[in-house]
Amino acid sequence: MSTPSPVSFTQALLFWLKLGFISFGGPAGQIAIMQRELVDERRWISQARFNHALNYCMVLPGPEAQQLATYIGWLMHRTPGALVAGGLFVLPSLFILIALSWVYVVYGQVPAVASVLWGVQCAVAAIVLQALWRVASKTDAEF
């Protein structure tokens, strides 16, 4: 097993920004996206280190996906990495939520808009189910 290669701060910043925009589906979906991107595709962190970080974050009070992003950011670039990862994990999602809320309040009674918003709900549910399957299939637990 090879050691993950160092990641530049700019590469990490762009990843956390992307994650903030695509991390739908609650903690299961967010954790699955981080696992797929950081471990499987980019190989910035090993599966063992990811599992250790996830286990650590799950015993802490609060949102484990947010804590996991912040902790992995800290692992890669210490305090600046943690601040960027933690901030960019939340802020893009906040702006998307504000925009979707505005669309719903202003145009939610328009049948076409209501249909699109309902379709988004179905897509998010599918993403969450796939994420749960991926995370569960990566565990070593036997029941």
* Amino acid letter for position 105: V
8 Å CB contact between 135 and 31: yes
Residue 57 confidence (pLDDT)? 94
Please give the C-alpha separations between residue 111 and each of 16, 81, 107, 108, in angstroms, as whole numbers. 35, 44, 9, 8
For residue range 61-109, list pLDDT tens digits in order. Answer: 999 999 999 999 999 999 999 999 999 999 998 898 899 899 989 998 9
Q: Would you list the domain boundaries of the chain?
A: 9-137
